[in-house]
Amino acid sequence: MESYDVVFLGYPNWWYGVPMALLSFLEDHDLSGKQVYLFCSHGTGGLARSVDIITEALPGVEISDNIFDCYEEDAPASQEAIESWLTELGY
Ligand SMILES: Cc1cc2nc3c(=O)[nH]c(=O)nc-3n(C[C@H](O)[C@H](O)[C@H](O)COP(=O)(O)O)c2cc1C
């Protein structure tokens, strides 16, 4: 992880939040000083509390508020939208 300055964190919305596996990953990896981008798939609940939960788990970490999210059934057809998002981010 030390060799990365930028981290893209992807997750599904589970129970209005994030799967515990994501929080375990964040506990095990020090992301301080890195730029973090979030992307999320979800049902009808949208991002819900997921961004707040991740922000609380990563105090002092720069999390972009330009977040990509999509409805779960739209995910397979989201390549163009994801490419536009990455272009917006400068990639
Ligand atoms: C245990 C579980 C809890 C979920 N809770 C929510 C929820 O609270 N709100 C929501 O919009 N979608 C919820 N979903 C739907 C998931 O977000 C959706 O299945 C997922 O984004 C699909 O991505 P995947 O194919 O990578 O799992 C839940 C799914 C599971 C399996």
- Domains of the chain: residue spans and CATH: 6-89 (3.40.50.360)
Going from the Cα of 24 to the center of ligand 1, the distance in angstroms, rounded, reads 18
Minimal CA–CA distance to 61: which of 38, 32, 26, 25? 32
pLDDT per position as a tens digit, 43-66: 999 999 999 999 999 998 999 999
As beta bridge partners, residue 8 has: 37
Question: Quick one: pLDDT at residue 60?
Answer: 87
80 alpha carbon to ligand 1 midpoint, in Å?
A: 22
| Ligand 1 atom having least distance to the Cα of 41 | 21
Contacts 24+ apart (CB under 8 A), 20-28: 22/54, 23/53, 23/57, 26/54, 26/57, 26/58, 27/57
* The model's pTM: 0.96
